[in-house]
Amino acid sequence: MTVSQTEAAPAGDRTDPAADPRPVLVTGGAGFIGSHLCRALSDAGHRVICLDNLQTARPSNLKPLEDLPNFTFVEGDIVNPLPAAVTEAANLTRIYNCACAASPPQYQADPEHTMLTNVVGTNHLLRLAERTGARFLLTSTSEVYGDPEVHPQVEGYRGWVSCTGPRACYDEGKRAAEAMTFDFARMKRAEVRVARIFNTYGPHMHPDDGRVVSNLICQALTGRDITVHGDGTQTRSFCYVSDMVRGLIALMESDIDGTEPVNIGNPDEFTINELLDMVLELVPNAGKVVNTPLPQDDPRRRRPDISRAQDVLGWSPRVPLREGLPMTAEWFAEEVGAELRLREAAE
Ligand code: UDP
Residues with CB under 6 A from ligand 1: 103-104, 199, 211-212, 215, 227-229, 234, 236, 272, 295, 298
What is the DSSP annotation of 216-251? Answer: HHHHHHHTPPEEEETTS--EEE-EEHHHHHHHHHHH
- Share of residues in the chain with pLDDT > 90 (%): 87
Distance from C-alpha of 179 to C-alpha of 41, rounded to nearest angstrom: 27
Checking if the pLDDT of 68 tops 80, the result is yes
Say if CB 283 and CB 217 are below 8 A apart. yes
Per-residue pLDDT at 9: 36
For residue range 237-270, what is the model confidence (pLDDT) as tens digits?
999 999 999 999 999 999 998 889 999 999 999 9
Mean pLDDT value of segment 53-71 = 93
Per-residue pLDDT at 6: 39
The string over 124-142, giving b where at least 16 C-beta atoms fall within 10 Å of a residue's C-beta and e elsewhere, is bbbebbbebebbbbbbbbb
Tell me how crowded residue 292 is: count the other CB atoms within 10 A of its CB.
Answer: 10
Q: Which of 236, 300, 325 to mutate to test the pocket of ligand 1 (most atoms within 8 A of CB)?
A: 236
Checking if the pLDDT of 1 tops 50, the result is no
Q: Name the pLDDT band for 58 (thresholds 50, 70, 90).
A: confident
For residue range 295-347, what is the model confidence (pLDDT) as tens digits?
999 999 999 999 999 999 999 999 999 999 999 999 999 988 866 555 555 55
Task: Answer yes or no: 170 catalytic.
Answer: yes
Q: Tell me which of 96, 107, 145, 170 is the catalytic residue.
A: 170
Checking if the pLDDT of 137 tops 50, the result is yes
Mean pLDDT value of segment 123-136 = 97
Distance from C-alpha of 327 to C-alpha of 293, rounded to nearest angstrom: 29
Report how far apart, in Å, the C-alpha atoms of 339 and of each of 62, 75, 312 are.
18, 25, 43
Q: Cα(107) to centroid of ligand 1, in Å?
A: 13
Mean pLDDT value of segment 188-200 = 98
Q: Cα(142) to centroid of ligand 1, in Å?
A: 14
304: DSSP letter: B
For residue range 218-232, what is the model confidence (pLDDT) as tens digits?
999 999 999 999 999
Say if CB 212 and CB 235 are below 8 A apart. no
Quote the pTM value: 0.93
Helix (H, G, I), strand (E, B) or coil at 170: helix
